[in-house]
Structure 1
Amino acid sequence: MNTKHQQPCCDIILFRTACLLIVISIVFSYSLSIYTVEYYDFSRLHFFIRQLAFGILSILLMWYMSKIDPEKYFDKIGSFIFFSSFIVIVVMPFLPNALVQETMGAKRWIRIFGFSIAPVEFFKIGFAYFLSRSFNKNLLTKDKHMRFKDELKLYTPYGLLFLLLVPIIALAQKDFGQLVVLVVLTFVMLMFANRSYRIFVILGLLGIVALVSLVLIAPYRLNRIYSWWSMVQDNVLSVLPQFLSTALRIESYPEPYQVGHSLNAIYNGGFFGQGLGNGLLKMGYLSEVHTDFVLAGITEEVGWIGLFVIVTIIIFLIQRILRVSRLTNKPAHHLFALGIALLLSTPLLINFGGITGSIPIKGIAVPFLSYGGSSMFALALGVGMVLSISRENNKISKQKEDI
């Protein structure tokens, strides 16, 4: 038997990949914010210094979380994140403007020591934990071929939770994009929770009805759909029969100019880009270029090849997380790591679809790349917990080798 007792390490490749994305984010927070700092009369290094601080703290948080013992602290940390962020989200609409930053009637950020924090970013991590823990306890242990009536009873609490989340996140916070992320997270994790396919059909239909209803009751969301359709309708309707093309065509509706500028930035980048710091569309043409449209800004400066490399790094990060999910022998940890992978992939797909005009635009941060501390901290927290799972996996593997 081996006498060495060296402490197993976490998935160091996963950790370094996340750190690399954070470094890339810091670089582009400086490069893409030239016009923004001048417009708001900020220091030239305003966004760079803040993102540098966010990045350093996120890396430290991620490394610290990788050291925790999942057996002792995983459930405690996950429960704290879920319940604390949920409570904050519930009370936010009732807090005074001195504590909550209100933008266009939506209260999404809490002010703390001069910084704005988005609790919903942390709630997504807590929600992934809640689903993994709850599905493991209530679904994985149940017979997959149970009666449909009994299976519906299992989902009633989750339905009630969503009935509470919809008015808070989609209506009070006006954050339809985050609700879509939570719906995708729930549905995909449910697919891996060993349930019958008949329930997926029902839940899928209910989810579609709910999302469509939220669009129809909000004129600004409906206008966003019309604006997007006016941009893509010529390409789509050209392949349809004449009667159907005529029925679906809308006239005299403004196209989304932000998406137009985004496509111009992507086209202007070409294969190799204009060079770091040399993008043109960021100079007042493309707003939020360092946040919601960061992929378009990056593409203009480093080109399609640069974008391909960065997206490949994100995909590789997701693959390493899925590897941790696959190797663990604990179902709850398996589902949680899967959830974190979804919280990286879903916003990336939504953002990329929006900036290219493939889907209606929805302001949602690109994981680890968009400027901002809340998203980066929350993801660092989630990835750090996955790293702790990977360390436990390595510990178990080492014990088997030593026997």
Structure 2
Amino acid sequence: MKIKNQSLYGQNSEIEEKIGDRSVNSFIKVRGWILIIATLGLAIFSLLNIASASFYTSMRFYKTEYFFVKRQFLFLLAGIVPLFMGLGINYRWYEKKQAIKLIVILTFILFGVVAIGTAFGIDSLVPIRNGSRRWIDFKIVKLQPSELLKIAYIILIAKGLNACKQRNYKNKDVIYTIFPFVLFFVLSVFFQRDLGTALHYIAISFIMIFFSDIELKHIFKFIAVIVVIGITYGSYAYFIGDDSSYRNRRIKAYVNGVIYDDYDNGDGYQIKQSLIAVGNGGLIGKGLGNGTQKYSYLPEIHTDFIMASVGEEWGFVGVSIMFLTYIIILQIGTTIAKSACDHFGKYLAIGITGYLFSQIIMNVYVVTGLMPVTGIPLPLMSYGGTSLWTTLFSIGVLYNINKHSLKGGSKGANQEERSSE
């Protein structure tokens, strides 16, 4: 005869377990919504800053006050599509063969178009901008493949790291597995004369490797190799490199600024004006619309140097609020990675969080003169469609990973995965 446990202790334990599960699920749901609200809050805040920062340039070149902010608003509306794609697609699908094939094909097509346009000098298709060919001009909109494919890069490395985990690969075997992905993307971007984005790809891969199961000594070897290559290239660019190269001039301007405090010559001018903008803001700033660096003093202030505009018009307080919002997003990304249902979700969340973190750091370093000018936008804040769409899609994927970390989410996801095969 089967005897049921009717003890008060057994009933209380079951009730406590249910309450605990509900509390965890409620926390995870709230965490996801905070992620979305913080993301959209920054994107909307950027419209105010772009409207102010681009005012003079819009009037000068397009005879209208709000040319750039109108376009950015349309970019944001269009960004709802990639955001909801990231939200709705089960993140485990990106690990499947058909998804990997699609990613590889898309990567070769986009990089191939840039390579062909560069090789044959097709300016109408792949225009030269700031000394590099990294844009595809579709007339209606320009796309930057190296920016768009960052999420593809993260997915491929996450797939590789997860495969290594399943096969119990260690240390060198892990590095050898993902190194071909890193090498292909970095060289493809480098030969577009886009040193900044190439460095960003390296930073993303380093962060993902750092949080894998590789021993620290092998990670330090990886860092040492990158540092040696960087110092060698920087030394060549500064002492031997031809000044006709856009990258060489930027490196020389950076070194002269850091060592000799000389920002007056050539490409150092932009960094100098950026520092002036940030310094002029003081504690609370000059007020929205009252900044002066946008009047041709600081080129591209509404794009890669939007933080300088925020510092000038909103001051230390405004910049602090902006960075507090970034910290919230990054902290949520970190906790999502820790609570992911599987290793692929963990690596994917780490990659997305690392991508945002490293891009923010690189942009801030450029604006404050701690790095050469690289053309790296500030996520959700800088003017531009490609970067915004990539970031929104990435946030959507992060939310999806969070959704499947709910109690019972793993079981449901596995059933869904089996039914879709």
Residue of structure 2 equivalent to 1:63: 84
1:157 Cα shift?
4.8
Residue of structure 1 equivalent to 2:380: 368
CA distance in 1, matches of 2:403, 2:263: 58
TM-score by length of 2: 0.81
CA distance in 2, matches of 1:252, 1:294: 21
CA contact (8 A) 2:189 2:197 kept: yes
Deviations 1:220-253 (A, max 9, x none): 4344333223223258xxxxxxxxxxxxxx9996
Deviations 1:53-98 (A, max 9, x none): 1112223431342122334466455663454134311341213333
Residue of structure 2 equivalent to 1:12: 33
- Counterpart AA for 1:98: S
CA contact (8 A) 2:38 2:325 kept: yes
Task: From 209, 216, 225, give the equivalent of 1:197.
Answer: 216
In 2 relative to 1, CA 106–251 (structure 1 residues): closer, same or farther, beyond 3 Å? closer
Q: Which has the larger radius of gyration?
A: 2
1:380 Cα shift?
0.9
2:149 matches 1:123: yes
- Counterpart AA for 2:398: V
In 2 relative to 1, CA 290–201 (structure 1 residues): closer, same or farther, beyond 3 Å? same
Q: Percent identity?
A: 25
RMSD between aligned alpha carbons?
A: 3.0
Residue of structure 2 equivalent to 1:225: 251
Worse-matched range after superposition: 9-18 or 208-217: 208-217
In 2 relative to 1, CA 253–17 (structure 1 residues): closer, same or farther, beyond 3 Å? closer
Task: From 317, 320, 337, give the equivalent of 1:325.
Answer: 337
Residue of structure 1 equivalent to 2:158: 132
CA contact (8 A) 1:82 1:127 kept: no
CA contact (8 A) 2:86 2:397 kept: yes
Task: From 170, 176, 194, give the equivalent of 2:190.
Answer: 170
CA contact (8 A) 1:321 1:386 kept: yes
Residue of structure 1 equivalent to 2:65: 44
In 2 relative to 1, CA 251–45 (structure 1 residues): closer, same or farther, beyond 3 Å? closer
Q: How many residue pairs end up in the alignment?
A: 377
- Counterpart AA for 1:207: I
CA distance in 2, matches of 1:339, 1:260: 33
Residue of structure 1 equivalent to 2:175: 155
CA contact (8 A) 2:95 2:159 kept: no
In 2 relative to 1, CA 82–52 (structure 1 residues): closer, same or farther, beyond 3 Å? farther
Residue of structure 1 equivalent to 2:106: 84
Worse-matched range after superposition: 71-80 or 335-344: 71-80
Deviations 1:320-347 (A, max 9, x none): 1111111112111111111111111111
1:254 Cα shift?
6.1
SS in 1 for 2:133: strand
In 2 relative to 1, CA 352–174 (structure 1 residues): closer, same or farther, beyond 3 Å? same
In 2 relative to 1, CA 338–71 (structure 1 residues): closer, same or farther, beyond 3 Å? closer
SS in 2 for 1:107: coil
In 2 relative to 1, CA 165–90 (structure 1 residues): closer, same or farther, beyond 3 Å? farther
CA distance in 2, matches of 1:154, 1:202: 14
CA distance in 1, matches of 2:263, 2:282: 32
Deviations 1:169-189 (A, max 9, x none): 112x11111111111111121
CA contact (8 A) 2:161 2:178 kept: no
Deviations 1:34-65 (A, max 9, x none): 11112212432211111111112223431342
Deviations 1:281-313 (A, max 9, x none): 111100100011100011111111101101110
Residue of structure 2 equivalent to 1:26: 47
In 2 relative to 1, CA 382–83 (structure 1 residues): closer, same or farther, beyond 3 Å? farther
CA contact (8 A) 2:151 2:352 kept: yes
Worse-matched range after superposition: 119-128 or 205-214: 205-214
- Counterpart AA for 2:51: Y
Unaligned residue ranges in structure 2 (runs of 5+): 1-13, 19-24, 413-421
Residue of structure 1 equivalent to 2:205: 186
Worse-matched range after superposition: 296-305 or 219-228: 219-228
1:168 Cα shift?
2.3
In 2 relative to 1, CA 79–26 (structure 1 residues): closer, same or farther, beyond 3 Å? farther
TM-score by length of 1: 0.84
Unaligned residue ranges in structure 1 (runs of 5+): 145-150, 236-249
2:137 matches 1:111: yes
In 2 relative to 1, CA 195–141 (structure 1 residues): closer, same or farther, beyond 3 Å? farther
Residue of structure 2 equivalent to 1:209: 228
Residue of structure 2 equivalent to 1:273: 285
In 2 relative to 1, CA 94–312 (structure 1 residues): closer, same or farther, beyond 3 Å? same
CA contact (8 A) 1:140 1:193 kept: no
- Counterpart AA for 1:169: V
CA contact (8 A) 2:341 2:404 kept: no
